[in-house]
Every structure is written in structure tokens, then in C-alpha cells.
């Protein structure tokens, strides 16, 4: 792994780079790019919303929010959500040498989630969500170790890790909830380094495959406070402990058609995820205007991972957003009053973060502006949420690469009732 890290730094900082179908050249390190989105209503709020709860939508950033879903007192609701995202990235910097291969595009299905309320104080959700991704393809110049000349090299990598999760949330008091997300973090990451020698006409290819699997847990707490008739506050927090990630490790080194090395072994504690903590605040006025702000920190420096001209450093992110909800009165099928429900919503948000990477003394920073809009259909139980994220990551200093990106997300939610003989009501 360390050799690949060193090669990455050498190519991205000293050599020439031509982007192809690349999500991010920075994703070559560790488990790749950590996913910041939960592909729900928090995406339009700068990915902030740890203190939010809803009786209609799944909010998965804080597992404690699930107990605030609609109670099964008169019906038995179930919830279903799927999400997809399109991403376009443009690359700039002295290392980018191609004017025609300086961007990438990607469209992926991202999430599937279910939730139910077995008991009035108990919320439960299970599903599949992304955790990290590795996707890069670039070429560069590599200095031969111990020599005085350089050779051409290319680097390719694909793969991802995901969370197969089960979240439980329990209401301890009227406004106080706790939750635990129990997950299996799993996935596969493949990368390949190809070195071309003009002196011997040989091609040296190093291929590595990682098959990752480990338990992963995250806890959360959420407290709602009604200050007066019009103003409500909420405080939420989440955290996870340091987690060792196990891997089945496969490595093959070939010179042309000749295999020089072949390794296939299980590695416990192949890499480590650090302690994570996050806290969020939400304020709602007249059920129409909601402001959120979150702060997240991860203690990567405690892992003491470093190599030539790079190191892992503590990461942090701050998110803030504002939401307007248009609520209307809806009647049941007999003409009686069923209550208020949110017809549509509009969101704007901002976030900025320091990633866990520091290369040539340059911290890799990211910022973005998000916009979101959603609607739900009272009678069908169907809801749609769309988001746009426009931002930038990295820098062009010291020969590094800057990524300017646009992301468009779509989340479709559905709620219905089962095992009930009473009249359906929708909020």
C-alpha cells in the first residue's frame, strides 16, 4: 500500500497527468473518497441535519431520528426510499496536460432503505448505503528508485465500500431519542500500476485487489425542545469508535507474461477508521422555516499514516442550511379533517471541509453550495426530492489538481400502510 501511495504523490505532484474516466485521483489512498451524503432531505441543506426528525421522511444521518416517524397507533406505516446521483468533474492544474480528457462523468444508483415502527417508541430501518469510493485513471512519470532516470507509468483503480445497515431508535422520553446503526462495511477495491521502460521494452504491471469486510457501529442521540408556540429547537449528535478493517489481500506482479510475485492472504486490521464525532443544531419557526448547522470531526492523525510528502491529518466539516416548507391542510376520503402535511419544500445550504489528506504541505479542502426541492403527493404516499451540489476540492499549488464538480441527486420515497382496517390518513 505504501508503495502505491508514494507512486501517487510522485505522479500527481511531479509528473504529468491526463484525466480520463476519473472520479478523483485523490481516491487512490486508503478506502478512497468518504461519502458525505445520505441521499435524503439533508443533502439540500449542505449535508447538515443531525438534529432533524420527521414523521414522513427517512433521515439517516442520525439513527436516533427513526423513533419520531409516525406512530402505529391507528395504522401500520412502512417507508421505502431509493436514490441515484449524477456527477460531473472538471480538473485543472499544471499536472493536467490534456484539453480533451480533463473531465469525468458518473451516474450511479446510491441507496435503498426501508423503515417501520414496530412500536410507538421504537423505529427501525435497514438498507444499503455507500461508504466510500475509489475511481481514478491517470498517467504520469515515475522516478526509478536508486536510478537517475524516469519511466512512464499509468494508474487505474475502481471499487467501493458500502454499508449493509440495521438501525434501531428508541424514544426514552417524549422528546428524547437514542439510536444505534449496526452495519457490515464491505466492498472491493482494485488498482493497477503499469510501468513502461523505454530502455528494456518491458512492461511491469502490479495489480492489487482488496475484499473488505468488518462490523461498523454508529450511535446517535436527538432531543427536541418546543420553546414556544412558534419556535422549536433540536439538538443532535452522533459518534463512532475506531474501527479496524479486515481484508482478503491479493497482489500480482508481472513482467510481460512472467509472474514475478503472487500473494493471496487474509490481513486483519488492514486499515483503520478513526474516531468520529458530530453535533448538530436545528431551529424551526412556525413549522415553515428551518435552519440547521452541523460540525463533524475525525481523528485521522492518531493513526500516524504517512509517506513521502503526504500524511493523514484530522478532518473536519461544517454544514449549514435553510429550508422553507409549504404546508397545506388535507382531508381524508370521507371529507373530514386529516391534518397538515408538507406539500413541497425548498432548501439552500453550504459546506466546507478539510479532508484527511495533506500533500506537499497542502491540505486538501472542499467547499460546496447545495440547492434542494421536494414534493409529496398526499393520496399516493409518494415523495420526490432533488438536489444540486456545486463545489470545488483541492488546489493547483505545488503541482496538485483542483476538482470543480457538479452533482445532481434524486431521491424517491414512498409511504403506505399495512394491516389496518381503518381509514387511511396522510400527513
- Are β-strands 176-196 and 150-171 bridged in parallel, bridged antiparallel, or unpaired? antiparallel
Q: Is the dihedral of CA 160, 166, 172, 177 positive or negative?
A: positive
Rg of the chain over Cα atoms, rounded to whole angstroms, equals 24
Q: What is the pTM of this model?
A: 0.86
Q: Kindly give, in sequence order, each residue whose CB lies less than 8 Å from that of residue 145, ignoring residues fewer than 6 positions away.
A: none
Q: What are the DSSP E strand ranges found in 38-175?
A: 77-92, 103-119, 122-143, 150-171
Tell me how far apart the alpha carbons of residues 4 and 11 are, in angstroms, rounded to a whole number: 11
Q: What are the DSSP E strand ranges found in 35-121?
A: 77-92, 103-119
According to DSSP, residue 425 is labeled: -
What pLDDT score was predicted for residue 13?
37
Tell me how far apart the alpha carbons of residues 134 and 35 are, in angstroms, rounded to a whole number: 11
Tell me how far apart the alpha carbons of residues 255 and 291 are, in angstroms, rounded to a whole number: 59
Structural domains present in the chain: 2-417 (2.40.160.60)
What pLDDT score was predicted for residue 180?
98
Q: How many helices (H) and strands (E) does the chain have?
A: 1, 19
Nine-digit cell string for 164: 449493509
Nine-digit cell string for 220: 446517535
Instruction: Estimate to the nearest angstrom the gap between the alpha carbon of 290 and the chain centroid.
Output: 23
Give me the phi and psi of 123, to 5 degrees please.
-115, 145
Nine-digit cell string for 43: 443533502
Please list the residues that pair with 119 across neighbouring strands: 122
From the list 402, 374, 406, the residue with the least C-alpha distance to 42 is 374
Model confidence pLDDT, tens digit, residues 346-356: 999 999 999 99
Phi-psi region of 2 (alpha: psi -120 to 50; beta: other; left: phi over 0): alpha
Tell me how far apart the alpha carbons of residues 75 and 112 are, in angstroms, rounded to a whole number: 24
From the list 129, 141, 130, 139, the residue with the least C-alpha distance to 22 is 139
Contact 407, 389 (CB under 8 A): yes
Tell me how far apart the alpha carbons of residues 229 and 226 are, in angstroms, rounded to a whole number: 7
Contact 188, 211 (CB under 8 A): yes
Contact 167, 204 (CB under 8 A): no
Q: Kindly give, in sequence order, each residue whose CB lies less than 8 Å from that of residue 47, ignoring residues fewer than 6 positions away.
A: 36, 37, 38, 61, 294, 317, 319, 349, 351, 370
3-state secondary structure of 173: coil
Contact 141, 153 (CB under 8 A): yes
What pLDDT score was predicted for residue 136?
84
Instruction: Estimate to the nearest angstrom the gap between the alpha carbon of 142 and the chain centroid.
Output: 32
Task: Give me the tens of pLDDT residue by residue for the chain, a chain 427 residues long.
Answer: 333 333 343 334 333 443 344 578 888 888 889 999 999 999 999 999 999 999 888 999 999 999 999 876 556 788 999 999 999 999 888 777 666 568 888 889 999 999 999 898 999 999 999 999 998 887 777 766 655 667 788 888 999 999 999 999 999 999 999 999 999 999 999 999 888 876 666 788 999 999 999 999 999 999 999 989 899 999 999 999 999 999 999 999 998 888 899 999 999 888 899 999 999 999 999 889 999 999 999 999 888 877 767 788 999 999 999 999 998 766 654 454 556 678 899 999 999 999 998 888 888 999 999 999 999 886 678 899 999 999 999 988 888 889 999 999 999 999 887 655 444 444 4
Contact 320, 90 (CB under 8 A): no
Amino acid at each position: 500500500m505504501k508503495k502505491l501511495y508514494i507512486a501517487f504523490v510522485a505522479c500527481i505532484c511531479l509528473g504529468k497527468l491526463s484525466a480520463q474516466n476519473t472520479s478523483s485521483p485523490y481516491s487512490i489512498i486508503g478506502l478512497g473518497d468518504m461519502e458525505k451524503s445520505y441521499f435524503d432531505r439533508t443533502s439540500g441543506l449542505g449535508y447538515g441535519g443531525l438534529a432533524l426528525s420527521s414523521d414522513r421522511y427517512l433521515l439517516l444521518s442520525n439513527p436516533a431520528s427513526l423513533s419520531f416517524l409516525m406512530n402505529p397507533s391507528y395504522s401500520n406505516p412502512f417507508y421505502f426510499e431509493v436514490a441515484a446521483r449524477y456527477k460531473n468533474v472538471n480538473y485543472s492544474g499544471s499536472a493536467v496536460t490534456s484539453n480533451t480528457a480533463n473531465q469525468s462523468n458518473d451516474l450511479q444508483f446510491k441507496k435503498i432503505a426501508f423503515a417501520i415502527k414496530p412500536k410507538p417508541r421504537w423505529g427501525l430501518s435497514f438498507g444499503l448505503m455507500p461508504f466510500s469510493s475509489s475511481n481514478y485513471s491517470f498517467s504520469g512519470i515515475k522516478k526509478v528508485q536508486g536510478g537517475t532516470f524516469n519511466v512512464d507509468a499509468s494508474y487505474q483503480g475502481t471499487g467501493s465500500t458500502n454499508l449493509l445497515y440495521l438501525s434501531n431508535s428508541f424514544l426514552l422520553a417524549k422528546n428524547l431519542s437514542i439510536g444505534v446503526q449496526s452495519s457490515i462495511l464491505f466492498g472491493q477495491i482494485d488498482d493497477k500500476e503499469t510501468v513502461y521502460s523505454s530502455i528494456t521494452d518491458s512492461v511491469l504491471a502490479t495489480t492489487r485487489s482488496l475484499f473488505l469486510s468488518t462490523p461498523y457501529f454508529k450511535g446517535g442521540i436527538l432531543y427536541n425542545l418546543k420553546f414556544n408556540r412558534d419556535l422549536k429547537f433540536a439538538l443532535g449528535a452522533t459518534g463512532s469508535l475506531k474501527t479496524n478493517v479486515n481484508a482478503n489481500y491479493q497482489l500480482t506482479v508481472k513482467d510481460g507474461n512472467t509472474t514475478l510475485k503472487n500473494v493471496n492472504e487474509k490481513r486483519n486490521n488492514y486499515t483503520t477508521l478513526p474516531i468520529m464525532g458530530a453535533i448538530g443544531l436545528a431551529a424551526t419557526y412556525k413549522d415553515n422555516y428551518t435552519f440547521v448547522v452541523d460540525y463533524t470531526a475525525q481523528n485521522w492523525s492518531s493513526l500516524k499514516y504517512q509517506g513521502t510528502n503526504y500524511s493523514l491529518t484530522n478532518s473536519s466539516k461544517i454544514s449549514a442550511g435553510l429550508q422553507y416548507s409549504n404546508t397545506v391542510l388535507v382531508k381524508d376520503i370521507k371529507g373530514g379533517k386529516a391534518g397538515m402535511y408538507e406539500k413541497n419544500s425548498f432548501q439552500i445550504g453550504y459546506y466546507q471541509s478539510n479532508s484527511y489528506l495533506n500533500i506537499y504541505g497542502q491540505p486538501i479542502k472542499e467547499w460546496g453550495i447545495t440547492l434542494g426541492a421536494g414534493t409529496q403527493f398526499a393520496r399516493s404516499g409518494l415523495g420526490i426530492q432533488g438536489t444540486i451540489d456545486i463545489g470545488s476540492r483541492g488546489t493547483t499549488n505545488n503541482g496538485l489538481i483542483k476538482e470543480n464538480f457538479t452533482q445532481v441527486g434524486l431521491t424517491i420515497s414512498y409511504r403506505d400502510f399495512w394491516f389496518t382496517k381503518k381509514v387511511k390518513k396522510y400527513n
